[in-house]
């Protein structure tokens, strides 16, 4: 069993794009600071997309600027095209993440390009990265890899072929995303094993949703076959505005608990994570926040994977006076 996993927090991007209101910049910076303080070491802080399309994320460059000051943090931004990649590199991100849809229908709806056009665009982004900033990471998440609400079934052979194409086009890593919450554990194991067989060390993160309650079971399934990097979102905020019925990322709070309770180190402190949740809640009053661990608290006798004792206060006390 691997002793450590990386939890990559996607709430500031995937979460906030799914909330109609815009979290004011000052709140966003405070939230990212609090997430970092909780021990998260990779945060997807926003997208470089036209402000008219996602006004909630129009201030991403300012968030990147702040996030870069947080020690040890890998600052990630989503870029759907070359123009976005150029802006993200200029802003100083450490890693670009490019969404490539495995479903033909979702590709057109999400980025207004065919899958082949997206692979071409990725090749241009990789060339730009090589020119301007070879130290910047370049990862691809294959959206709708486990099924698509627009198209239904997404053939596994197409997913794997696309993964090979994006690695050939220059991506460092390619992960699999259950954008619409359709995956099951058997499928997660099967597809990640095929991905590893096809692209080896380029196999990347699991980005799983909790739409039908299977989020943590699917994370466990991915972990069982050797995946060590997991996207999740504080309070389960998230979805995809261009995939009907997509809802609910895996909840970071619950995912951290799952791993730490199993003895797998995440580096995340649950009391501080709940304090970050309170910062989010203050910025988006009334927004429904998901997650079972923040409600139930830690069980008696809980210790972190590294043997550390949790704070003695109940978990919910971390939010006292902040709601």
As to burial, measured by CB atoms within 10 angstroms (0-12 exposed, 13-18 middle, 19+ buried), residue 300 is exposed
Contact pick of 25, 90, 186, 322 for its own copies (by CB under 8 A): 186
Q: Is 227 in the site for its own copies (CB under 8 A)?
A: no
Pick the piece of the chain touching its own copies (CB under 8 A) from 13-21, 52-60, 108-116, 219-227: 219-227
Is the dihedral angle over the CA atoms 115, 116, 119, 121 positive or is it negative? negative
Q: Does 296 bind its own copies (CB under 8 A)?
A: yes
Whole-number minimum distance, CB 247 to its own copies, in Å?
7
Residue 137 lies near its own copies (rule: CB under 8 A): no
> How do beta strands 203-207 and 173-177 pair?
parallel
Among the listed residues 54, 208, 240, 276, the single catalytic one is 240
Out of 93, 216, 227, 256, point to the residue binding its own copies (CB under 8 A): 216
Does residue 184 bind its own copies (CB under 8 A)?
Answer: yes
| Structure tokens given for 138 | 């370049």
Binder of its own copies out of 200, 300, 307, 321 (CB under 8 A): 300
Chosen residue from 60, 143, 179, 247 binding its own copies by CB under 8 A? 247
Cα–chain center distance at 15: 9
| Between 137 and 185, CB nearer to its own copies | 185
Part of the chain binding its own copies (CB under 8 A), chosen from 31-39, 57-65, 166-174, 257-265: 257-265
Taking each helix axis from N to C terminus, what angle separates 115-132 and 156-168, rounded to the nearest 10 degrees?
A: 30
What's the rounded Cα separation, in Å, for the pair 62 and 25?
8
CA 154 → CA 160, 238, 287, distances in Å? Answer: 11, 22, 33
Q: Cα(222)–Cα(283) distance, rounded to whole angstroms?
A: 33
- For its own copies, the binding residue among 212, 265, 282, 316 (CB under 8 A) is 212
* Closer by beta carbon to its own copies, 165 or else 179: 179
Interface stretch with its own copies, choices 45-53, 71-79, 130-138, 179-187 (CB under 8 A): 179-187
The size of the interface with its own copies (CB under 8 A), counted in residues, is: 41
Yes or no: say if 166 and 174 are a contact pair by the CB < 8 Å rule: yes
Are 99 and 10 spatial neighbours (Cβ–Cβ below 8 Å)? no
Is 293 one of the binding residues for its own copies (CB under 8 A)? yes
**Site membership for its own copies, residue 3 (CB under 8 A):** no
By three-state DSSP, how is residue 323 classified?
coil
Residue 58, token pair as written in the block: 């129009």
**Residue 182 interacting with its own copies (CB under 8 A):** yes
Q: Is 219 a catalytic residue?
A: no
Q: Which of 99, 181, 204, 283 binds its own copies (CB under 8 A)?
A: 181
Do 142 and 100 contact (CB within 8 A), yes or no? yes
Tell me the backbone φ, ψ of residue 299, rounded to 5 degrees.
Answer: -70, 155
Cα-based angle 21, 24, 25 (whole degrees, multiple of 5):
135
Residues annotated as catalytic (active site), given as ranges: 240
Binding site for its own copies (CB under 8 A): 1, 147-149, 152-153, 180-182, 184-187, 210-214, 216-217, 219-221, 224, 245, 247, 251, 254, 257-258, 261-263, 291-293, 296-297, 299-301
């Amino acid at each position: 069993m691997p002793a450590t996993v990386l939890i990559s927090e996607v709430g500031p991007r995937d979460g906030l794009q799914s909330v109609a209101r815009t979290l004011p910049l000052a709140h966003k910076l405070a939230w990212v600071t609090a997430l970092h303080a909780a021990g998260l070491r990779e945060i997807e802080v926003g997208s470089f997309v036209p402000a008219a399309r996602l006004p909630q994320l129009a201030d991403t460059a300012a968030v990147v600027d702040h996030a870069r000051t947080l020690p040890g943090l890998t600052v990630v931004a989503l870029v759907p095209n070359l123009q976005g990649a150029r802006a993200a590199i200029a802003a100083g991100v450490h890693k670009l993440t490019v969404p490539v849809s495995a479903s033909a229908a979702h590709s057109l709806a999400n980025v207004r390009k065919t899958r082949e056009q997206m692979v071409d665009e990725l090749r241009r982004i990789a060339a730009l990265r090589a020119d301007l900033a070879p130290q910047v990471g370049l990862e691809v998440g294959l959206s709708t890899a486990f099924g698509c609400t627009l198209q239904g079934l997404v053939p596994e052979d197409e997913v794997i072929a696309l993964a090979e194409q994006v690695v050939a086009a220059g991506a460092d890593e390619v992960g699999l995303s259950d954008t619409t919450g359709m995956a099951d554990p058997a499928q997660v194991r099967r597809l990640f094993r095929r991905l590893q067989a096809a692209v080896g060390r380029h196999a990347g993160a699991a980005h799983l949703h909790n739409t039908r309650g299977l989020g943590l079971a699917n994370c466990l399934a991915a972990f069982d076959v050797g995946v060590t990097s997991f996207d999740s979102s504080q309070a389960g905020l998230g979805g995809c505005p261009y995939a009907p019925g997509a809802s609910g990322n895996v909840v970071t709070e619950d995912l951290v608990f799952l791993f730490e309770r199993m003895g797998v180190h995440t580096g995340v402190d649950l009391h501080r994570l709940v304090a970050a949740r309170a910062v989010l809640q203050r910025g988006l009053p009334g927004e429904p926040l998901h997650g079972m661990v923040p409600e139930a608290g830690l069980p008696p006798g809980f210790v972190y994977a590294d043997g550390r004792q949790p704070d003695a206060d109940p978990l919910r006390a971390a939010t006292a006076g902040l709601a």
